[in-house]
């Protein structure tokens, strides 16, 4: 395909996603702010209603480019890293061969050829041949080992042959030469045309938080349900800092400055025909209705870096969230017996601390792993009245 125009659209990173449009788009303005902040995002370059390249910007100034052929099949992946001032080195270039459409759709390659280039120009080309069909269910970009034979070629070359300029935001023409590797021929001059995406109403807003803890019938995306608030115990805070986190990963919690003392924890249980899930969890510090809601942010997080309806939230990898004092320590060897095993039959578990030491109250995270928004409910005079984790079971809103 010869092309002189590229349509440009932006979104969250989405790997080897196949398609002309982003399943989770982002405005150009938000993508530009994320670029300036060193945060990840993705760019889709298309022509004549066909994807040509998917470019991902990673932290630490790394880039990844997925290339598509004339069938819109993702056939190649190039990883680039900083090399010299203003230049990137294509240090890894992976190509796949597929025997047919069904094999491509299920990511079952016949041959995977990976070319790696060192900073001083040493090149290694490794060809891997697939094992018998059904031997692997890993996705296309993850299957980097397990061959039946691995021919390897090594030779020196000039590193200059593998360099490209570091793009300024919007300067996506620098990636045009890579498109020729899949048979797409760029014209001498290429015009970039942004696909317009409205910024929308901005980041996720706290809506319906009070209703999370009001008992009664609800309509949810999955049908009718009943909300039942339940007491999960008293949380002891000694340091004046509440931590909200996955108890299996305590290194980087979301924290909120709160008064020391003991405060009630309430869970919102959502009962449906499919079972019982924790829809929300709340620590109450003042028995006063909140006047406004504020997303809990880390010092380096900026709401302006979020797309429409997105949020910064607590990450969950063990299906569990916990409230605890920020100074509380968690002994990993005690987690299974003291927390994860009991949660298999209970919606919440307390890991006590010897008084007056802080305790920990953990609970099931909605429908499992992911990320969930954490909100501060502030009173008329700005004090922290409560902190809530919303597992987003009562609305169809999503987030990051």
Residues 6+ apart with CB under 8 A from 370: 315, 316
| More confident: 379 or 399 | 379
308 lies in some domain: yes
Q: Is the pLDDT of residue 245 over 70?
A: yes
Q: Is the pLDDT of residue 397 over 50?
A: no
pLDDT in tens, 144-201: 444 445 789 999 999 999 999 999 999 999 999 999 999 998 888 889 998 877 777 7
Q: Tell me which residue range forms the domain holding 238.
A: 209-390
Residues 6+ apart with CB under 8 A from 292: 377, 378
Q: Do residues 228 and 187 both lie within one domain?
A: no
398 lies in some domain: no
- Whether residue 76 contacts residue 175, with contact meaning beta carbons closer than 8 Å, is answered with no
Q: Do residues 160 and 259 both lie within one domain?
A: no
200 lies in some domain: no
SS (H, E, C) 73-136: CEEEEEEEEECCCCEEEEEEEEEEECCCHHHHHCCCCCEEEEEEECCCCEEEEEEEECCCCCCC
- Point out the domain boundary residue: 194, 229, 260: 194
Measure the CA dihedral 29/32/34/38, to 10°: -170
pLDDT in tens, 304-337: 888 888 899 999 999 999 999 999 988 888 888 8
Q: Residue 324 in 3-state DSSP?
A: strand
Q: Is the pLDDT of residue 37 over 80?
A: yes
Q: Do residues 267 and 134 both lie within one domain?
A: no
Q: Do residues 185 and 37 both lie within one domain?
A: yes
199 lies in some domain: no
Give the helix ranges, DSSP H, for 25-82: 28-36
Q: Residue 295 in 3-state DSSP?
A: strand
């Amino acid at each position: 395909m010869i092309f002189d125009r590229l349509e440009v659209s932006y979104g969250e990173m989405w790997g080897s996603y196949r398609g002309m449009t982003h399943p989770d788009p982002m405005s150009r303005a938000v993508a530009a702010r994320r670029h300036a902040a060193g945060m990840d995002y993705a760019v889709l370059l298309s022509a004549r209603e066909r994807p040509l390249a998917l470019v991902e910007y990673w932290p630490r100034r790394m880039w990844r480019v997925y290339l598509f052929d004339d069938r819109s099949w993702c056939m190649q992946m190039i990883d680039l890293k900083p090399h010299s001032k203003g230049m990137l080195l294509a240090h890894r270039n992976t190509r796949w061969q597929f025997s047919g459409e069904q094999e491509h759709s299920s990511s079952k390659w016949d041959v995977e050829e990976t070319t790696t280039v060192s900073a001083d120009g040493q090149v290694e080309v490794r060809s891997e041949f697939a094992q018998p069909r059904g031997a692997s269910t890993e996705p296309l970009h993850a299957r980097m080992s397990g061959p039946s034979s691995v021919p390897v070629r090594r030779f020196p070359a000039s590193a200059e042959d593998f360099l490209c300029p570091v793009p300024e935001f919007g300067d996506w023409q620098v990636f045009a030469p890579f498109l020729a590797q899949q048979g797409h021929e760029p014209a001498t001059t290429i015009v970039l045309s942004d696909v317009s995406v409205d910024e929308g109403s901005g980041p996720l807003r706290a809506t319906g938080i009070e209703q999370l803890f009001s008992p009664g019938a609800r309509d949810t995306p999955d049908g009718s349900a009943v909300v039942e608030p339940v007491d999960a115990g008293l949380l002891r805070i000694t340091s004046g800092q509440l931590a909200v986190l996955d108890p299996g990963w305590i290194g980087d919690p979301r924290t909120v400055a709160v008064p020391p003392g003991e405060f009630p924890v309430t869970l919102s249980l959502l009962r449906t025909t499919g079972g019982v899930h924790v829809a929300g969890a709340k620590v109450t510090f003042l028995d006063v209705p909140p006047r406004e809601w504020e997303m809990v942010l880390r010092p380096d997080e900026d709401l302006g870096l979020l797309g429409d309806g997105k949020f910064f939230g607590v990450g969950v990898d063990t299906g569990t969230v916990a409230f605890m004092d920020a100074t509380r320590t968690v002994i990993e060897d005690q987690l299974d017996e003291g927390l994860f095993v009991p949660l298999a039959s209970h919606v919440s578990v307390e890991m006590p601390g010897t008084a007056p030491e802080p305790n920990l109250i953990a609970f099931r995270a909605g429908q499992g792993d992911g990320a969930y928004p954490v909100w501060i409910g502030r009173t008329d005079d700005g004090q922290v009245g409560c902190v809530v984790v919303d597992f987003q079971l009562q609305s169809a809103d999503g987030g990051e």
